[in-house]
Structure formats: structure tokens, C-alpha cells
Amino acid sequence: MKKVILALFVFVAVFFTGCDTFRRLAGRPTSAEIEAKRKVIELAEAAKHQARMDSLTRIEKQMADSLAVLDSLNGKNGTAMREPARMGGISAGSLKNKYYIIVGAFMDKGNAEFMKKQVTGAGYEAELIYFRNGYTCVGVCPTDNLVEEYADLKKLKAEKFCPEDIWILVNENK
């Protein structure tokens, strides 16, 4: 009879307490702890996935903005963007940024320096760019973002010192 009671007691203990009791006794995680850890891992994976999706969305938006700017620039009369190679290449030094707005191209360096003073006086960052064909250009608003450069181009066109035929120089070496 004692064996039957002992067997019944073991059966009731196992049936009502489940495996978690034995897991706890063995130092293993219980089913509640396993479920909590699974939820934490799923949340971390969902956050990683959302970060990837946000990154892709941001890149797609930047590409769409850049393409819209390029379409807008190409739709203007004449070419609004030029590469240094089409002007004989840059002779000395290298440009730090990919895009520059050229407000003037001069054979006489003195004229270029005068234009640079006007641009700097108006509060813009200006740089002299020397080409192998002898021209000295005044580059304004250097940046690596085409969308920013297009916004600066529109803003510059409203300035008094700005000529009508300004254009964006694309530094292909950057």
C-alpha cells in the first residue's frame, strides 16, 4: 500500500507541478523564463528589421531627390552640370567636395579674385578652382549632396552679384 501511495504522490506531483519543478531543481530555466527570453529576442529582431527598412526608405528618398534634381537640371536651357574634364581638367590641387556652384570662369585671375571677394562679402564660402585650359573659376557652396547644392543654386540666383549663367561643377574624382 505504501508503494501505491508513493507512486500516486509522485504522479500527482509531476502532473500538477509539471516539468518546471524539475527544471528549477536542476538549475535550468523554466518555461516562463524561456518565453520571456524568446519575446526579447523577437523584439530585438523586429527592431533590427525596422532599422534596415528605415535605412532603405531613407536611401530611396535620397536617390529619388537626387534624380528629381538631375531631371530638373537637365530640363533647363543648356547644360547646368559639367565635369572638370570637359573644361580641360583641374590643374592644381584637388577639390574636397563633389559639387560646386560655379559663379564665374575667368581667364584673368584678378577678375576671379574680385568675384571671390564679392561672394565672400555676401556670406558664402568661395574657392578658386584652376583648370588646365587657363580658366580660373569661382566655386561656391561646396557640398557632397546634390539636393543641397540644387537648393543653394536656387538661393544664389536671387543674389545681386550672381550672373545668370551659373552652373554646378561635378567633381568625378570625389
Residue 161, pLDDT score: 81
pLDDT of amino acid 29: 82
Judge contact between 164 and 156, C-beta under 8 A: no
pLDDT of the residue at 59: 82
* For the chain, domain boundaries: 1-75, 81-170
Q: What is the pLDDT of residue 56?
A: 84
The pLDDT score that the predictor gives to residue 78 is 43
- Topology given in CATH for the domain delimited by 81-170: Alpha-Beta Plaits (3.30.70)
Q: Profile the chain (174 residues) by mean pLDDT over runs of 10 residues.
A: 77 66 74 89 94 87 71 54 53 73 91 92 90 87 86 86 85 71
pTM of the model: 0.53
> Could you tell me the three cell numbers for 81?
552640370
Helices 2-17 and 19-26, axial angle in degrees (round to 10): 90
- HSE at residue 47, side-chain half, CA atoms within 13 A, is 6
Q: CA angle, 54 as apex, 65 and 151 as ends, to 5°? A: 25
